[in-house]
């Protein structure tokens, strides 16, 4: 069975707030970008079967805004500390615990970890030639032909990367 993994980098955070990295909220621009991405996903019928997010405030807020646009309650978001400042294996361990029945998983997290996962899973094949593959509020869609528990290097094919900055303004 082919599965899809969607890697969503959190939207732009607010650096003007006096908070530690974990508790940094989204900026106004970040909230708009997350909303744009959620609306775009809804328009393209990209509704995940399972949602997992870093517990950092900006990642959870991004996931909540996207889920709201998709008509999903915030309660569907599984927060996993392995998505915050962890290595590639931490991300893969998180994916290994996704339900077997889930065909489309949305993972919301951070760079450089998400980019490392994208590069690893695709084996660096057919990736755009960019310094930053996943800027804030970017969504990479991958097709995976294996189980979530068997995510090996090169097991995925990149379908697309969508950038919120290229989407129409949310209204």
Judged against a pLDDT cut of 70, whether residue 13 lies above it is answered with: yes
Question: What are the φ and ψ backbone dihedral angles of 36, each rounded to 5 degrees?
Answer: -60, -45
| The CATH fold of domain 3-166 | Rossmann fold (3.40.50)
Q: How far is 86 from 129, CA to CA, in rounded Å?
A: 25
Confidence of residue 170 (pLDDT cuts 50, 70, 90): low
pLDDT digits (tens, 9 = 90+) for 103-157: 999 999 999 999 999 999 998 766 776 678 999 999 999 999 889 999 999 999 9
pLDDT of residue 108: 98
Higher per-residue confidence, 85 vs 6: 6
CB 145, CB 154: distance < 8 Å: no
Instruction: For 69-155, list the strands marked E by DSSP.
Output: 77-79, 104-109, 138-144
Average pLDDT over residues 55-81: 97
pLDDT of residue 67: 98
Work out whether the CA dihedral 20, 73, 90, 155 comes out positive or negative. Answer: negative
Judged against a pLDDT cut of 70, whether residue 171 lies above it is answered with: no
């Amino acid at each position: 069975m082919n599965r899809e993994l969607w890697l969503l980098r959190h939207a732009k955070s607010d650096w003007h707030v006096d908070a530690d990295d974990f508790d940094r909220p989204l900026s106004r621009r970040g909230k708009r970008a997350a909303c744009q991405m959620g609306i775009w996903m809804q328009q393209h019928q990209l509704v995940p079967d399972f949602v997992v997010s870093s517990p950092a405030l900006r990642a959870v807020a991004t996931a909540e805004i996207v889920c709201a646009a998709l008509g999903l309650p915030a309660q569907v978001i599984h927060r996993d500390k392995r998505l915050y400042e962890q290595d590639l294996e931490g991300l893969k361990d998180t994916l290994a615990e996704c339900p077997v029945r889930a065909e489309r998983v949305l993972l919301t997290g951070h760079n450089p970890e998400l980019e490392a996962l994208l590069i690893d899973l695709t084996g660096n094949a057919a990736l755009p030639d960019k310094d930053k593959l996943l800027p804030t509020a970017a969504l990479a869609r991958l097709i995976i032909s294996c189980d979530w528990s068997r995510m090996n290097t090169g097991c995925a094919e990149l379908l697309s990367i969508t950038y919120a900055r290229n989407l129409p303004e949310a209204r």
